[in-house]
Structure 1
Amino acid sequence: MSRTVAVIGGGAIGLSVAWRAAQAGWTVTVHDPAVASGASWVAGGMLAPLSEGWPGEDAVLAAGAASLQRWPDFGRELEALSGESLFTSDGSLTVARDAADAADLRRVAEWLETQGYRLDLLSRAEIRAAEPSLAPGIRLALLAATESAVDNRALVRALRRATVDAGVAFTPQAVTDVDALDADQVVIAAGTAAARLWPGLPVRPVKGEILRLHHRPGVAPAPTRTIRGSVHGRPVYLVPRGDGIVVGATQHESGEDTQVTVAGVRDLIADAGALMPSIGEYELYETAAGLRPMSPDNLPILGRVSDKVVLAAGAGRNGILLTPLSADAVVAELSGTPLAEAKTCSPDRFDGLGASIDRVRK
């Protein structure tokens, strides 16, 4: 018998779930009035669980690393199916401009080693040799050679092509009532809107502004690696693209606001220039803002909450990184065999969500 699943949300995670579910034999419909938009369209595309790791966030690191491990095969399969070129950087470099930042880098490196990841600390001379366009005042850097980045817009184009080829149907219907959907199973992968579809889901919107810069003739080329740093306490990253650099990202608890502010653009340009002085000569091609769907503990919420509904929510600032793990976890839930690597991401860690799972298990 045909098994049907409705996926609410057509961002990177929703499309990946739909694609993998169709490959597993499900008849899939994606419900989204604006497929491949929202946070997936605005994202920086970093695949950097080690660089973003912080002592004490062991579960966040484990989930991100499990998804990073899936990315090479996941990305190559999509590239072969779609003809898109996805990967844009070779490694990540987190830099320190002062003594306090350098101390933090050493602390992170020591913690990562206890988790089984040995990263290299680079001196001033090694930094200049690796990325000559960076500011000469940078005193220390942490190199994560296994990390990467992808072009998020190429990713959603590739996923749209892959889902169509796999037989996934699309409807622009905006879902307001999960119970009204005529499907055997429902997957909620609707970003910040997920909280409106499942009562008690602890997902909140956090605005992030980004800049897309185009390279101009005669200007220093973009770094080959993703560059991360902190300027005046503000985190900033530079992600290479084929035509330039993506600079991000601000972070504001501002509800559903997606307007780009003058202050946000000013700070991003100033902070990026502190890491790479020549960036001021690039063309400011686009400014954009998206809403990150954040969970209270920075872990995604992946798993079953009723006999019909599975969540793929709360990926936060790591939605692109967590895409392959989220898809595998959801398809495993649909088949009744939960994915061990996603156990810490289960909804039952939150009061009110876990109760519904207990009823299912009984």
Structure 2
Amino acid sequence: MQPHILILGAGITGAALAHQLAKGGATVTVVDAGSPAGAASGGSFGWVNASFFLSEAHFHLRHAAMEAHQALAAELGLDPQPQGCLWHEATGADFDHQHEALHRLGYPLRLLDRAEIARREPLIANPPDRALFFPTERAVDLAALTDRLLSAASARGARVILGLRGEALLTAQGRVIGLRMPQATIMADHVILATGTGTPALLVPLGLTLPMQHRPGAVLHSQPLPPLLTHILATPEQEVRQDRDGRLIAPAAAHHQSDASEDLPGPDALIRATLARLRAIFPQADIRPDRLILAQRPVPGDGLPAIGAVAPGLSVAVMHSGATLAPHVAALLAAEVLGQGESPALAPFRPSRLFT
């Protein structure tokens, strides 16, 4: 008899876990108080990369996740071609350090001069003297990918229950055995928390304290525009990409992946500042705002993912950036939950390092 796995959270991480576990033959239930990708996943820039990393192990996890995205695109019939990224967020010695570090790690890249940058992106103003081109980096629509993964899991028998908020984890004889909700109780052989910033509150009754950073994020979507940009662009002032509908998508903070801001200006100020930066990059374009999406980014206390078992019958998968990591982490954690042994790749990211 296959185990029943209960996943709390229907963001990109929960959806990827549901997909992997259903493929593995488990009985899967996904519960979320809101809608799919209704929290951090829906407010993500969607940049899949390993050029941002905090340790060598973190780099390798992210790099493997990029390959997992490529495989997932082929499996789900999505566009397999990455857009690539033109990166010059750092300058001077910091640029050289990034170039050398990524080259040493074997990351696919090319050093481009101003003429090549202008050839690739002729509509950007004032191209830099040099940039790194990362050909395997891509951007994904996390909301759409979340829906596709949940649909694929449902086709394999997974249940997706939305609009129900869990009150507390159920325990018996020192083991987590399910979830209590106002309307019902769901029993399970194993529970996985893919609940982002909501994870610490669910762990407190178990005597576990999971520290999280306070990292609000904001992403601006423009109204549709003619084609302006082919690649993901990462400048010292602004990261930006253009989606298939012509919308520019831009975090409201430079270097948003490593951004340490604990507070944001008001929405109007965020929109004005982001529009000013975008109009400086594309001065010939009539860039108008469509919407600003605010979300709390789930960043564990030391900035690294928290993945794996935390108590008998209970695992967590909390990470920034889920946009990059979710498909790969889901495959590794699903294999562990289904009894296929612990993954060495997840060893540096066990939640136990954070518990106080």
Partner of 1:11: 11
Q: Does 1:246 align with 2:252?
A: no
Contact 2:30 2:160 in 1 (8 A): yes
Contact 1:228 1:238 in 2 (8 A): yes
Q: In the TM superposition, what whole-angstrom CA distance separates every residue of 1:6-29 from its partner, at most 9, and x where no partner exists?
A: 100010100110111111111111
Partner of 1:356: none
Q: Does 1:94 align with 2:94?
A: no
Contact 2:252 2:271 in 1 (8 A): no
Q: Does 1:237 align with 2:227?
A: no
Contact 1:88 1:241 in 2 (8 A): no
Partner of 1:357: none
Q: Give the match's secondary structure for 2:311.
A: coil
- Structure 2: distance between partners of 1:160 and 1:2: 19
Partner of 2:191: 186
Q: Does 1:177 align with 2:177?
A: no
Q: Give the match's secondary structure for 1:277.
A: coil
Partner of 2:280: 274
Partner of 2:333: 330
- Structure 1: distance between partners of 2:118 and 2:74: 31
Partner of 1:24: 24
- Structure 2: distance between partners of 1:34 and 1:28: 18
Of 320, 323, 328, 1:320 maps to: 323
* Alpha-carbon distance change, 249 to 328 in structure 1, aligned in 2, over 3 angstroms: farther
Structure 1 window deviating more from structure 2 (124-133 vs 236-245): it is: 236-245
Q: CA deviation at 1:57?
A: 2.7
Partner of 2:182: none
Q: In the TM superposition, what whole-angstrom CA distance separates every residue of 1:271-315 from its partner, at most 9, and x where no partner exists?
A: 223333345x134222111110011332211111112001101x1
- Structure 2: distance between partners of 1:23 and 1:307: 23
C-alpha RMSD of matched pairs (Å): 2.1
* Aligned amino acid, residue 285 of structure 1: D
Q: CA deviation at 1:119?
A: 2.0
Q: CA deviation at 1:260?
A: 5.7
Of 197, 202, 210, 2:202 maps to: 197
Q: Does 1:226 align with 2:232?
A: yes
Q: In the TM superposition, what whole-angstrom CA distance separates every residue of 1:233-269 from its partner, at most 9, and x where no partner exists?
A: xxx2112210122111435424xx9x96122112212
* TM-score (normalised: structure 1): 0.84
Contact 2:218 2:251 in 1 (8 A): yes
Structure 1 window deviating more from structure 2 (13-22 vs 198-207): it is: 198-207
Contact 2:85 2:137 in 1 (8 A): yes
Q: CA deviation at 1:149?
A: 1.1
Contact 1:92 1:225 in 2 (8 A): yes
Structure 1 window deviating more from structure 2 (66-75 vs 182-191): it is: 66-75
- Structure 2: distance between partners of 1:276 and 1:329: 42
Partner of 1:355: none
Contact 2:83 2:137 in 1 (8 A): yes
Q: CA deviation at 1:170?
A: 2.1
Q: CA deviation at 1:89?
A: 4.9
Q: Does 1:293 align with 2:298?
A: yes
Partner of 2:223: 214
Partner of 1:69: 67
* Aligned amino acid, residue 336 of structure 2: E
* Aligned amino acid, residue 344 of structure 1: P
* Aligned amino acid, residue 202 of structure 1: P
* Aligned amino acid, residue 342 of structure 1: L
- Structure 2: distance between partners of 1:30 and 1:261: 33
Partner of 2:256: none
Q: CA deviation at 1:88?
A: 7.9
* Alpha-carbon distance change, 11 to 86 in structure 1, aligned in 2, over 3 angstroms: farther
Contact 1:39 1:290 in 2 (8 A): yes
Q: Give me the identity figure in percent.
A: 27
- Structure 1: distance between partners of 2:324 and 2:85: 14
Contact 2:191 2:313 in 1 (8 A): yes
Structure with greater helix share of residues: 1
Partner of 2:346: 342
Partner of 2:48: 47
Partner of 2:174: none
Contact 1:303 1:329 in 2 (8 A): no
Of 154, 157, 164, 2:144 maps to: 154
Q: In the TM superposition, what whole-angstrom CA distance separates every residue of 1:148-189 from its partner, at most 9, and x where no partner exists?
A: 111222212212321221211122321131225211100000
What is the number of equivalent residue pairs in this alignment?
328
Q: Give the match's secondary structure for 1:247.
A: strand
Q: CA deviation at 1:340?
A: 2.2
Q: Give the match's secondary structure for 1:305.
A: strand
Q: CA deviation at 1:211?
A: 1.0
Q: Give the match's secondary structure for 2:135.
A: strand
- Structure 1: distance between partners of 2:231 and 2:82: 5
